[in-house]
A and B are shown apart, each in its own frame.
Chain A
Amino acid sequence: MENLQKTCLYDNHTALGAKMSPFGGFIMPIEYSSIIEEHQAVRQHAGMFDVSHMGEVFICGPDAEKFVNHIFTNDVSGMEPGKILYGMMLYPTGGVVDDLLVYKMQEADMFLLVVNAANIAKDVEWITAQQTGYQVNIDNASERWGEIAVQGPEAEKILMQVLQLPVEDLVFYTFRELTYEGETLLCSRTGYTGEDGFELYASPELTRTLWDKLLTEGHVTPCGLGCRDTLRFEVGLPLYGHELSADITPIEAGLGIFAKTDKPEFIGRDVLVRQKTEGVSRKLVGIELHDKAIPRAGYEIEAEGRCIGTVTTGYHTLSTDKSVCMALIEKGFSTIGTEVTVRIRKKVFPGTVCKKRFYEKNYKK
């Protein structure tokens, strides 16, 4: 447990008796009551997550738009303030440095990049190394910002009633820069659960104030990273290090829609153009097992008597009561309905290739 960072809400988690565990270099709450209860709270009512471990990197300067377009797969040309785009930063090989959200701030020539906790140092180093020839300033503000995600069908009502935030007309994948008790608060209609919800970015002090208020006045269920993973998995959202990595391209992961190869240039573009036209040899698929055994990350997928790929994430899904996984397998076996097997410890279990979304998203758009 050496060198683990604590978020600004660490004391709040221990006071609630959370089960804590290392994640991405931080000591984070995995569950407070039980993963299943927290998962269902988000699907049916609302839950809140401490996601202060996420990284916030500001890019500003006269070349900011050009620079972000150079390092990011999605297209930020002419992006209006208040808009958010999802995409990736790639290596020249097409492998993924990180997946991230890009926020266009009110200030001209200013973007906020929200990146994965485990990748903050690597990302900042990567972004800085690409800076040559661009007039931009790169500010890693991760330690100055806390973040709470409030997710679930009741999230909107709670933010309006408990925090008096004007979010009713906030559109999916947009954000507002608000003031709360005299302090800056960024509120975006985004999340990682497949439910409607919001992410609140604020100073560590304000983050603690918001958490306490949501807990005591809003009675919002505190949720750990355990159910954050089961929720995102069920709706087919990727997690860096599992469905995306330096060895997996967005095309292989089925995320080509977020890589705008019609942009004239961005790092990794050539490989993606080739993969979009010539096809890929591997594809990320869903697999549903016929048995209750659970396919876990790293387990081998077999067909025709040989290994054809590996599981990237697997669970017994809580919303649909099925043993399913996402897996990166040879393209020849990726058609929906193909029969494969998964090796789980000493046994082999049959399964069928299916869509990699196991539960329908419930966004308010």
Chain B
Amino acid sequence: MSEVKEGLYYSESHEWIKVEGDCGYVGITDHAQQALGNIVYVDMPEEDDEVTQNEEFGAVESVKAASDLISPVSGKVTEINEALEDQPELINQDAFGNWIIKVELSDKGELDALMDAAAYEAYCNENL
């Protein structure tokens, strides 16, 4: 069974965002990493790139397939998690402990479109 963490916002495409002030850390959920299997590459944007809510900003590649990363919010990428360049498997080990990008949110109102932990858990159970 996959883990869901309280205090985060979740998207239907299985990304999470942890908001701190005007910034948010974005990663993929435990459910997503389990579905993907062994992750061998993370295709990340560069710092200062703009991301848009519900649009692709990179990809997570498991052994067998590439899966697009969809941004849960709009804003500017202020940091990427460089540790994933050499150790993409960190996401398999701890999906919530290993964010992929840090974004400066351009519109915090966009968070209203996301789910909380309880809603996301119910969403995953419905879509098994």
Q: A residues touching B (Cβ–Cβ < 8 Å)?
A: 19, 30-31, 34-36, 226, 229-230, 292-294, 296, 315-316, 318, 323, 344-345
- Chain B contacts for A323, CB-based, 8 A: 41
Q: A35-B38, A316-B40 are in contact. Are A345 and B63 (CB under 8 A)?
A: no
Q: Would you call B37 and A35 a contact (CB within 8 A)?
A: yes
Q: Would you call A316 and B59 a contact (CB within 8 A)?
A: no
- Chain A contacts for B64, CB-based, 8 A: 30, 35, 226, 229-230
Question: Within the assembled complex, what's the spacing in Å between the Cα atoms of A315 and B61?
Answer: 10
Asked if B117 lies at the interface with its beta carbon under 8 angstroms from chain A, I say no
Which among A19, A315, A344 is the interface contact of B63 at CB below 8 angstroms?
A315
Question: Within the assembled complex, what's the spacing in Å between the Cα atoms of A52 and B70?
Answer: 38
Which among B63, B66, B85 is the interface contact of A35 at CB below 8 angstroms?
B63
Q: What DSSP secondary structure best describes chain A's contact surface? A: mixed
Q: Would you call A294 and B38 a contact (CB within 8 A)?
A: no
- Chain B contacts for A226, CB-based, 8 A: 37, 63-64
Q: B residues touching A (Cβ–Cβ < 8 Å)?
A: 37-38, 40-41, 43, 59, 61-66, 85
Q: Would you call A316 and B63 a contact (CB within 8 A)?
A: yes
Smallest CB–CB gap between B64 and chain A, Å?
Answer: 5
Report the nearest A residue to B34, measured CB to CB.
A19
Smallest CB–CB gap between A242 and chain B, Å?
Answer: 13
Q: Would you call A230 and B63 a contact (CB within 8 A)?
A: yes
Q: Would you call A36 and B63 a contact (CB within 8 A)?
A: yes
Question: Within the assembled complex, what's the spacing in Å between the Cα atoms of A206 and B47?
Answer: 59
Q: Would you call B61 and A34 a contact (CB within 8 A)?
A: no
Smallest CB–CB gap between A170 and chain B, Å?
Answer: 32
Question: Within the assembled complex, what's the spacing in Å between the Cα atoms of A296 and B64?
Answer: 9
Q: A35-B63, A36-B63 are in contact. Are A293 and B41 (CB under 8 A)?
A: yes
Q: Would you call B59 and A318 a contact (CB within 8 A)?
A: no
Q: Would you call A296 and B66 a contact (CB within 8 A)?
A: yes
Question: Within the assembled complex, what's the spacing in Å between the Cα atoms of A229 and B64?
Answer: 9
Smallest CB–CB gap between B83 and chain A, Å?
Answer: 14
Interchain Cβ contacts under 8 Å between A and B, 29 examples: A19-B37, A30-B64, A34-B37, A34-B38, A35-B37, A35-B38, A35-B62, A35-B63, A35-B64, A36-B38, A36-B63, A226-B37, A226-B64, A229-B64, A230-B63, A230-B64, A292-B41, A292-B85, A293-B43, A294-B40, A294-B41, A315-B63, A316-B41, A316-B63, A318-B63, A344-B43, A345-B43, A345-B59, A345-B66
- Chain B contacts for A34, CB-based, 8 A: 37-38
Report the nearest A residue to B68, measured CB to CB.
A345
Smallest CB–CB gap between A21 and chain B, Å?
Answer: 10
Question: Within the assembled complex, what's the spacing in Å between the Cα atoms of A209 and B127?
Answer: 35
Report the nearest B residue to A37, measured CB to CB.
B38
- Chain A contacts for B62, CB-based, 8 A: 35
Contacts A35-B37, A226-B64, A316-B61 supplied; 20 other A-B pairs, CB < 8 Å: A31-B37, A34-B37, A35-B38, A35-B64, A36-B38, A226-B37, A226-B63, A229-B64, A230-B63, A230-B64, A292-B85, A293-B41, A293-B43, A294-B41, A294-B61, A294-B66, A318-B63, A323-B41, A345-B43, A345-B59
Q: Which 10 A-B pairs have the closest CB atoms?
A: A35-B63, A316-B40, A36-B38, A294-B61, A34-B38, A292-B41, A226-B64, A35-B38, A294-B41, A296-B66
Smallest CB–CB gap between A20 and chain B, Å?
Answer: 13
Report the nearest B residue to A230, measured CB to CB.
B63
